[in-house]
Amino acid sequence: MIHSQQSKQGMQLERIQWCDEFNVGVKIIDEQHKRFVGILNNLSDSISGTKPDADEVYSVIIELIDYTSTHFVTEEELMKVYKWENYREHFKIHNRFVEKIGEYNKNYHHVSQAELEDIYLFLKSWLLNHISVEDRKLASFLNSEGLK
């Protein structure tokens, strides 16, 4: 379920409300995805005011980067332990995402309100797509190995 709020630019920023359709069926991954969604919603809130606080936005971006690393390590450890044949492909997807958010972090102080909104929309779209496609593949494999 998605909730919208008006941004300074007049664009609808959609907050994500966790729902069962986002669950992939592996408890630790689902719990971490919920936390990831919470951080993205914090980002939406922090950039949606009439005058976003730069320190607050930056703090949320740093939290997102840190949590992304934690989450990806969890998934990658599960892939290694259970010897998932698609590990390298999934790992590369994670690396490309880390590089992208690293670019956002480097250029953060030089972006406009509209660019912040674009960053949020990219992150939201990437996460929901990654959960529904890539992480479902991983979860299906892990479930077949007995991990729930």
pLDDT digits (tens, 9 = 90+) for 62-76: 999 999 999 999 999
Residue with tokens 């005058």: 51
Domains of the chain: residue spans and CATH: 2-144 (1.20.120.50)
Cβ contact 116:52 at 8 Å: yes
Q: Tell me: the pLDDT tens digits for 34-92?
A: 999 999 999 999 888 667 777 888 899 899 999 999 999 999 999 999 999 999 999 99
Burial of 77 (C-beta count, 10 Å sphere; 0-12/13-18/19+): exposed
